[in-house]
């Protein structure tokens, strides 16, 4: 029952994000400048979070039982948890300002280019996270 509630919330978030994207492309020219960027940013976040929360359980269901058990064991392993913690913390500190500054500028100026740059920063955020996982795995 608890899992169904989480999946329903994830589906609602994904649909809401998709709806915001459609609204931006359908009536974006009639919206105030800041609203276009705000709706696109919130829509992207909702679509990414909701879509990810829907896809991951489907992937786990398709995996063989032995592989699922191994993934759960690795996820709960203390060493791996410490590595993820340090990598995530280090990554977050370095990219927080670099991600939000262009986003705030884009919202204030209504420039779609800056919103694209924010998306590129999210990709960099993921790359920095992987680099930090590698770095911290060598320290433990």
pLDDT of residue 15: 93
Q: What is the pTM of this model?
A: 0.51
Q: What is the DSSP letter of 31?
A: S
At residue 12, the pLDDT reads: 92
The pLDDT value given to residue 135? 84
Domain-by-domain residue ranges, the chain?
Answer: 1-62, 77-140
Tens-level pLDDT at each residue, the chain (140 residues):
466 888 888 899 999 999 988 888 888 778 887 788 888 888 888 888 888 888 888 877 888 888 888 877 777 777 877 887 888 777 777 776 677 777 777 777 877 777 777 777 777 777 877 787 888 788 76
The CA distance from 125 to 119, in Å, is: 10
Q: What is the pLDDT of residue 94?
A: 73
Residue-wise DSSP of 74-126: HHH-HHHHHHHHHHHHHHHHHHHHHHHHHHHHHHHHT-HHHHHHHHHHHHHHH
Task: Identify the pLDDT of residue 2.
Answer: 61
């Amino acid at each position: 029952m608890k899992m169904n509630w989480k999946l329903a919330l994830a589906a609602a978030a994904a649909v809401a994000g998709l709806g915001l994207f459609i609204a931006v492309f359908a009536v974006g020219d009639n919206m105030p400048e800041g609203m276009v960027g705000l709706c696109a940013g919130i829509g992207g976040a909702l679509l990414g979070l909701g879509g990810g929360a829907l896809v991951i359980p489907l992937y786990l269901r398709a995996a063989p039982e032995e592989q699922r058990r191994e993934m759960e064991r690795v996820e709960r392993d203390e060493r791996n948890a410490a590595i993820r913690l340090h990598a995530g913390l280090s990554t977050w500190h370095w990219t927080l300002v670099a991600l939000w500054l262009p986003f705030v500028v884009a919202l204030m100026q209504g420039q779609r280019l800056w919103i694209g740059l924010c998306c590129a920063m999210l990709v960099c955020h993921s790359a920095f996270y992987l680099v930090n996982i590698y770095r911290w795995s060598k320290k433990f």
